[in-house]
C-alpha cells in the first residue's frame, strides 16, 4: 500500500440536512461483551428491519462512478447494501454469520427483484477463507468487532480486491465514543481510518482515508455520528 501520513485526506464534511440515516443501535449488549452470532440472531429476530432498507450513503457516493462488476459485501446484515449494489448491476456475494440476518437479506433481495444477482453466504469472517477469489469491489460497512479480530479480516479483504478493483470501508470512528452519536460504546470496537490503513498492509493504493460526519435523525432532532471511511484501489 502506498501510504504516508500525508496521504490521508480528511474527507469533506457531509452534513447537509435531508441526507440523514437512522442510527444503528449500540453493538454491545448490556454487559458490554462482544456480540456473537446468537446475540445478532436475537437482535435480528424482530420481523421488521432493524436497520434501514436504504443503502449506506457513503457506499452510494463512493462507488457511484464505478462500472459494475463483482462485489463482496462483508457483514451484509439485512442486505441493504448488497441489494442496492445488485440494483446498480453488480453481481454480489454477501456474507454474514447471522442466519437470521441472511434470511431477511434474502427476503429484501426477492422483494426488490435482485435475488438472482446475490450469492448469500453464512460464515464467520474470523475464519472465512477467500483463497484465490478476487472481486471488483470489496465493501465492509460497520463491521464493529474487537480490533484484534478485525485487522486480520481487513488484510484478507484487501487481498480479495481484483486488479483495478476498489476496497471500501465505513465504520464507527473512535472519536464517536466521546464526540459522536450512537454506535458501539466500547473503544476497542471502534477504529480510525489510520488504523484501518495500517491493517490493510501494502496491497492497495489509498484514495481516501479520514473521518466523516453522518447526520442522524433522532427523537431529539438531528445528531451527528462520526464514521471513518477508507477507499483504496488495486492498480
Q: Return the residue of 3, 84, 97, 135 that touches ligand SAM, per CB under 6 A.
A: 97
Q: What is the DSSP letter of 190?
A: -
Nearer to ligand SAM, 24 or 215 (CB): 24
How far, in Å, CA of 148 to CA of 169, rounded?
Answer: 17
Beta carbon of residue 163, minimum distance to ligand SAM (angstroms, whole number): 25
Does 214 participate in binding ligand SAM (rule CB under 6 A)?
no
Does 227 participate in binding ligand SAM (rule CB under 6 A)?
no
Crossing angle of helices 80-87 and 99-111, rounded to 10°:
30
| Candidate ranges 110-118, 120-128, 154-162, 194-202; the one touching ligand SAM (CB under 6 A) | 120-128
Does 80 participate in binding ligand SAM (rule CB under 6 A)?
yes
Classify residue 151 by burial, with Cβ atoms within 10 Å: 0-12, 13-18, 19+. middle
Provide φ and ψ at 213, rounded to 5°. Answer: -100, 140
The CA-based dihedral angle spanning residues 218, 220, 221, 226, taken in that order and rounded to the nearest 10 degrees? -60
How far, in Å, CA of 114 to CA of 108, rounded?
Answer: 9
How many residues touch ligand SAM (CB under 6 A)?
A: 21
Q: Return the residue of 8, 23, 51, 150 that touches ligand SAM, per CB under 6 A.
A: 51
Provide φ and ψ at 89, rounded to 5°. Answer: 105, 5
Beta carbon of residue 122, minimum distance to ligand SAM (angstroms, whole number): 9
Does 40 participate in binding ligand SAM (rule CB under 6 A)?
yes
Does 24 participate in binding ligand SAM (rule CB under 6 A)?
yes
Does 145 participate in binding ligand SAM (rule CB under 6 A)?
yes
**What pairing do the DSSP bridges indicate for beta strands 135-141 and 70-74?**
parallel
Binding positions for ligand SAM, rule: CB under 6 A: 24, 27, 40, 51, 56, 75-77, 80-81, 96-98, 101, 124-126, 141-143, 145
Amino acid at each position: 500500500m502506498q501510504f504516508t501520513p500525508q496521504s490521508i485526506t480528511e474527507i469533506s464534511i457531509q452534513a447537509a440536512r435531508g441526507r440523514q440515516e437512522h442510527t444503528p443501535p449500540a453493538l454491545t449488549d448490556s454487559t458490554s461483551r462482544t456480540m456473537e452470532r446468537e446475540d445478532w440472531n436475537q437482535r435480528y429476530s424482530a420481523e421488521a428491519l432493524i436497520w434501514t432498507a436504504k443503502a449506506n450513503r457513503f457506499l452510494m457516493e463512493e462507488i457511484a462512478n464505478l462500472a459494475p462488476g463483482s462485489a463482496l459485501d462483508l457483514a451484509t446484515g439485512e442486505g441493504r447494501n448488497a441489494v442496492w449494489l445488485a440494483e446498480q448491476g453488480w453481481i454480489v456475494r454477501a456474507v454474514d454469520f447471522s442466519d437470521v440476518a441472511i434470511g431477511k437479506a434474502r427476503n429484501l433481495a426477492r422483494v426488490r427483484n435482485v435475488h438472482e444477482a446475490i450469492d448469500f453466504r453464512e460464515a464467520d469472517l474470523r475464519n472465512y477463507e477467500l483463497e484465490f477469489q478476487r472481486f471488483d469491489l470489496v465493501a465492509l460497512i460497520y463491521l464493529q468487532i474487537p480490533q484484534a479480530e478485525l485487522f486480520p479480516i481487513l488484510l484478507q479483504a484487501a487481498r480479495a480486491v481484483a486488479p483495478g478493483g476498489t476496497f471500501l470501508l465505513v465504520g464507527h470512528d473512535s472519536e464517536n465514543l466521546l464526540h459522536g452519536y450512537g454506535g458501539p460504546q466500547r473503544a476497542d470496537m471502534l477504529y480510525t481510518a489510520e488504523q484501518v490503513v495500517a491493517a490493510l498492509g501494502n496491497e492497495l493504493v489509498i484514495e481516501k482515508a479520514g473521518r466523516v460526519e453522518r447526520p442522524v435523525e433522532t427523537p431529539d432532532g438531528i445528531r451527528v455520528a462520526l464514521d471513518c471511511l477508507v477507499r483504496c484501489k488495486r492498480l
